[in-house]
Amino acid sequence: MVDLRVRVGDLTLRNPVMPASGTFSETLSRMMSFERLGALVTKTITAELRGGNPTPRVAEVGRGLLNSIGIPSKGLDYFLEHILPEFEPFSTPLIVSVSAPTAELFAEAVERLDLPGIAGIEANISCPNIEEDGKAFAMKAKSTATVVERLRKTTSLPLWVKLTPNTADIASVARAAEASGADALVVANTILAMSIDVETFKPRLGNIMGGYSGPAIKPIVVRMVYQCARAVDIPVIGCGGIATADDAIEYMLAGASAVQVGTATFVNPSAMLDVIDGLERFCERKGIKRVSELTGMVRDVDMTVDQLETIP
Ligand SMILES: Cc1cc2nc3c(=O)[nH]c(=O)nc-3n(C[C@H](O)[C@H](O)[C@H](O)COP(=O)(O)O)c2cc1C
């Protein structure tokens, strides 16, 4: 028997596998038991009603998916009245993903989520901050600190902070989030990208640019998880291109305590369950008693001084 439990801050999860925000909804319970997952993560909600971006909003490009969904949201009132009760029957910890365009509005939304049935908050700070020229909070350590500090003062719930890969120095953003009171980091959101149809000369997305996800981004995000896990003491949750148990193991070896599965669920709706089963089989085969032993177990390689200097 392998112990699949992992700890993410004060939460103990029955296994390290959960959905990535926006790629999962309560309706999936019709085809899989939510009781098997480590946690449930909602699509990002915003306080106000928001439309999405212009269509087309998704395009398959190479070994990945380009999307510019744009956080459409029916608003917090709707979420509390209609979506939250849908999750009530499940004992699996529910993490609510939240976003807002200013630190103040972020805090107002988070304050309203201190409710029974909500196990934690995932602050999606990869969204535009209107006080910083529309640049995502998580692009800079300073704006990350401002919003996370504000949220930490607002809620005593576990506070996970989801970072953007679209930053020059993710390790310093990770340190700022930790110093400001984050309980865990989710690394990472989608990678800013663009694709053009050469027949029509038009961008494939109505919004021109969008976020890239899926298998193609995995090596980039594994690198970021490695950097973040070395930079902070709080748990890191890996997210980017995970479709199989091997992908999840790679993230854990790089330093992730848990993982999120996103785009893969669109291709294979039971991808998360396959990852859980595969993790168990892997541990059995390797004689590993607790899956948590994998975290950060990547073996050192002999590195030159130059190579070492590139790792913050
Ligand atoms: C269609 C789609 C919608 C998404 N919506 C959200 C969202 O609402 N909030 C969020 O934090 N991330 C959102 N994401 C990003 C995912 O949660 C995840 O960070 C990213 O896709 C990388 O993981 P993956 O390669 O496993 O998909 C979305 C991704 C996709 C593909």
Q: What is the pLDDT of residue 197?
A: 97
Task: Provide the whole-model pTM.
Answer: 0.96
| Ligand 1 mutation target, pool 189, 221, 242, 275, most atoms within 8 A of CB | 189
Q: What is the pLDDT of residue 155?
A: 98
Q: What is the pLDDT of residue 312?
A: 56
Atom 4 (ligand 1): residue with closest C-alpha? 22
Q: What is the pLDDT of residue 311?
A: 60
Query: What average pLDDT does this structure show over 173-202?
Result: 97
More confident: 132 or 167: 167
Task: Indicate whether 191 pLDDT > 70.
Answer: yes
Q: What is the pLDDT of residue 301?
A: 75
pLDDT digits (tens, 9 = 90+) for 135-156: 899 999 999 999 999 999 999 9
Residues with CB under 6 A from ligand 1: 20-23, 43-44, 65, 67, 69, 71, 97, 124, 162, 189-190, 213-214, 217, 239-242, 261-264
Atom 22 (ligand 1): residue with closest C-alpha? 240
pLDDT digits (tens, 9 = 90+) for 23-64: 999 999 998 999 999 999 999 999 988 888 889 999 999 999
pLDDT digits (tens, 9 = 90+) for 1-28: 999 999 999 999 999 999 999 999 999 9
Considering the chain, what is the average pLDDT of its residues?
Answer: 94
Task: Indicate whether 114 pLDDT > 70.
Answer: yes
More confident: 13 or 134: 13
Structure tokens that stand for 116 in this block: 């029974």
Report the atom number in ligand 1 closest to the C-alpha of 261. Answer: 26
Atom 18 (ligand 1): residue with closest C-alpha? 189
Q: What is the pLDDT of residue 232?
A: 98
Determine the distance separating the centroid of ligand 1 and the alpha carbon of 285, expressed in angstroms: 32
- Residues 11-37 as b/e (b if ≥16 CB within 10 A, e otherwise) read bebbbbbbbbbbbbebebeeeeebeeb
DSSP per-residue string spanning the chain? --B--EEETTEEESSSEEEPTTS--GGGGGTS-GGGSS-EEPPPB-SS-B--PSSP-EEEETTEEEE-----B--HHHIIIIIHHHHTT--SPEEEEE--SSHHHHHHHHHTT--TT--EEEEETTSB-GGGTT-BGGGSHHHHHHHHHHHHHH--S-EEEEEPS-SS-HHHHHHHHHHTT-SEEEE--PEEEE-EETTTTEESSTTSEEEEESGGGHHHHHHHHHHHHHH-SS-EEEESS--SHHHHHHHHHHT-SEEEE-THHHH-TTHHHHHHHHHHHHHHHHT-SBGGGGTT-PPP----HHHHHT--
Q: What is the pLDDT of residue 127?
A: 79
Determine the distance separating the centroid of ligand 1 and the alpha carbon of 59, expressed in angstroms: 14
Determine the distance separating the centroid of ligand 1 and the alpha carbon of 20, expressed in angstroms: 6
Determine the distance separating the centroid of ligand 1 and the alpha carbon of 22, expressed in angstroms: 5
pLDDT digits (tens, 9 = 90+) for 216-261: 999 999 999 999 999 999 999 999 999 999 999 999 999 999 999 9
